[in-house]
Amino acid sequence: MLDIYVDAVDPKEYFTATYKLKGNDLQRAAFGLAVGQSVGNPSVRNEYETPELISKYAAKIIGKPEDFAGKESGIVKICWPYRIIDWPTDGIAQLLCVLMGGQMDIDYIHGCELLDLDIDFELCDAKKPRYGLQGFRDLVGSYNKPLLGSIVKPKTGLTEQALVEIITAFVEGGVDFIKEDEIMSNPACLPLKTRIDVVQRVLKGSSVVYCYCINSDPLHILDRVKMVADGGGNGVHVNFWSGHGVYKSINELGLPIFVHYQKSGDKTISSEKNAYRISWYVLCKLASICGVDTIHTGMWGGYLSDDENELRRTMHMLSANNVVPTLSCGMTAELIPEITRRFGIDYMANVGGAIHEHPDGMKAGAQKLREAIDRVKQ
């Protein structure tokens, strides 16, 4: 057996993934993942896999073989040398291929959950948010309290006039941020170019961040970012399914564009019901590496209600990386004080239904949320 077990690694030389592995033999599963995802076949060596190559390029396992012997499942930390990836060009796509690739095809690995990733942001060519938390506050002039956003609905079928009325109500109601729903993109009823022309006329002179939904394939999505910027827009909304690398590519355009990462669909990969998965915490960290400004992080107390400790951990990680955590899916004015007490002020309350369904209209709904947020100002 190759000697790839170590007590510790140099964090400037290796990035470390924490897994929960399952199989008939945990030791074999850990070894198969480490070798199979770095230098070669877990059970077959060839003449070119020299001791020098193994020492320099093979992934390492933290611990000793006996730590895993006789177990069917457990936590395993595996470390890869930074040198195996060309970070500026391989990017997140290659990182994910390394972390969650061929081990899915090994029959003696029955489950593989990627729980955490300890990675140096400088060494992996991480991008800084164009605005981030402080830049967002400076842009909209809102300090010492949560930020307030809302969502354009209906998702499809909107007319130009309806869009004008909705945005006007939001702005007059006092929101800091507006995003289009992830279902919108570029429908024939109200194409992106038309929306840009309409929205920018309404928002002229306003500091509100408006994120246009631009979901599309790679060939088109960067053109849509440029279209938004050329039309005077200041934000884009990109759904999880567009791929993490897209966020990095948008950041690298260097345009004054606020990037919102929207999570719908993530549970197909992150759900704890999956035997093979990437935790939502890791997905958020990967998005941070790509330079997004805000992430729909989850929710507490709404119809989506995440585990409080895990949500707090994710929000803390995002804030530390200057990314704005966004809470949405059942947000109401009544929840604002308790959410702020539990999680602090550095988040955005992105509110849909509680604004849309207000009996006195959307403007009154936005004003109610605005008043609730202003009351918790610290």
Q: Per DSSP, what are the bridge partners of residue 18? A: 77, 116
Which helix (H) or strand (E) covers residue 52, if one does? helix 51-57
Residue 377 pLDDT exceeds 80 = no
Tell me which DSSP letter residue 359 carries.
Answer: T
pLDDT at 305: 85
Q: Could you tell me if 273 and 302 are in contact, meaning their C-beta atoms sit under 8 angstroms apart?
A: no
- 317 touches 337 (CB < 8 A): no
- The angle at the Cα of 300, spanning 352 to 173, to the nearest 5 degrees, equals 30
pLDDT tens string 157-200: 999 999 999 999 999 999 999 999 999 999 999 999 999 999 99
**H/E run at residue 96:** helix 87-99
Task: Enumerate domains of the chain plus CATH numbers.
Answer: 5-118 (3.30.70.150), 132-375 (3.20.20.110)
- Which run of H or E residues covers position 62? strand 60-62
160-173 vs 192-202: helix crossing angle, rounded to 10: 40
Backbone angles phi, psi at 49, to 5 degrees: -85, 75
Q: What is the pLDDT of residues 106-164, one digit of tens each?
A: 889 999 999 999 999 999 999 999 999 999 999 999 999 999 999 999 988 999 999 99
How far is 136 from 167, CA to CA, in rounded Å? 19
Q: Longest Cα pair distance anywhere in the chain, in angstroms?
A: 76
